[in-house]
């Protein structure tokens, strides 16, 4: 194993290593020089693997995910299968580049779409970015407009491209797609949380399962992402505020400690995650999240 992978292994909780079947093929987050970023203590991908990779490999997996399912309001029932860095290869939302989530957990009755954050905010919609021409494909509102990039008229530039978010938004967020919403209700980082919520709805419909989206975060008073997650990652004015359930890594490990049989494992993981969170909190001004 090359030195990059050795550094990554050293930054991952040992019990999670087996969750990565092919270290070369795994979709690692990389920087502009193509170097894997999971060797860094503040890596968002690494802490997600720490927790969900360990749960995946544990004999307590079904107990833990049954408890998480009950907490977020979907039916428990294993066996639970967990995929790390899961991609919607069925393109249920019609995306040219399908959504990739940090983890997907599928049981016999429910599916959980899991997006993980350390301290970084959620992703934003690219349609409002200024093009080389100086124009934007979207003016920032869900309102009748023409996309200067392709000349198509509509309320959402993404809908004009065949992306099916607004096929699910009305039910998930109780929004009328036939009226204007200005500014767009999914501006800023609400966009990423919306994508995960509608992906969960699409998966549930396609596989005939109950489904929910989780916003998993590292909890610390100095992390803005944690404070926002605990308030609710979506605008409280949205009818579908409950479409995304926030839950911290610490809460997940507490659930594992409560229902799991391997107490030594979960105590060790708790200390590992606490150390990473404390380190990020003490040096967060130096870090750029990866």
Does the pTM of the predicted model rise above 0.75?
A: yes
Mean of all residue pLDDT scores within the chain:
93
Q: How many alpha carbons lie under 13 Å from residue 218 in its C-beta half-sphere? A: 29
Say how far apart CA 148 and CA 143 lie, in whole Å: 15
Q: Which residue shows structure tokens 């393109």?
A: 91
Residue 19 has pLDDT above 50, yes or no: yes
pLDDT tens digit sequence for 42-81: 999 999 999 999 999 999 999 999 999 999 999 999 999 9
Q: pLDDT of 129-174, one tens digit each?
A: 999 889 999 999 999 999 999 999 999 999 999 999 999 999 999 9
């Amino acid at each position: 194993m090359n030195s990059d992978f050795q550094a990554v292994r050293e930054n991952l909780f040992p019990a999670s290593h087996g969750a990565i079947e092919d270290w070369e093929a795994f979709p690692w987050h990389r920087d502009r020089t193509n170097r894997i970023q999971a060797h860094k203590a503040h890596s968002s991908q690494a802490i997600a693997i720490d927790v969900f990779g360990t749960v995946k490999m544990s004999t307590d997996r079904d107990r833990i995910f049954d408890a998480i399912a009950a907490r977020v309001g979907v039916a428990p029932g294993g066996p639970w299968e967990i995929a790390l860095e899961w991609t919607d290869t069925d393109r249920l939302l019609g995306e040219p580049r399908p959504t990739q989530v940090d983890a997907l957990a599928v049981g016999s009755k429910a599916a959980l779409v899991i997006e993980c954050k350390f301290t970084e905010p959620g992703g934003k919609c690219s349609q409002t970015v200024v093009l080389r021409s100086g124009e934007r494909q979207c003016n920032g509102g869900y309102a009748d407009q023409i996309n200067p990039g392709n000349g198509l008229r509509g309320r959402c530039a993404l809908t004009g491209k065949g992306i099916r978010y607004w096929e699910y938004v009305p039910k998930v967020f109780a929004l009328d797609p036939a009226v204007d919403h200005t500014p767009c209700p999914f501006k800023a980082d609400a966009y990423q949380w919306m994508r995960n919520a509608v992906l969960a709805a699409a998966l549930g419909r396609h596989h005939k399962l109950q489904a929910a989206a989780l916003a998993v975060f590292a909890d610390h008073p100095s992390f803005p992402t944690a404070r926002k997650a605990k308030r609710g990652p979506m605008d409280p004015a949205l009818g579908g505020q409950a479409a995304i359930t926030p839950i911290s890594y610490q809460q997940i490990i507490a659930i594992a400690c409560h229902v799991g049989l391997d107490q030594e494992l979960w105590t060790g993981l708790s200390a590992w995650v606490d150390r990473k969170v404390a380190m990020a909190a003490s040096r967060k001004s130096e870090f750029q999240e990866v």
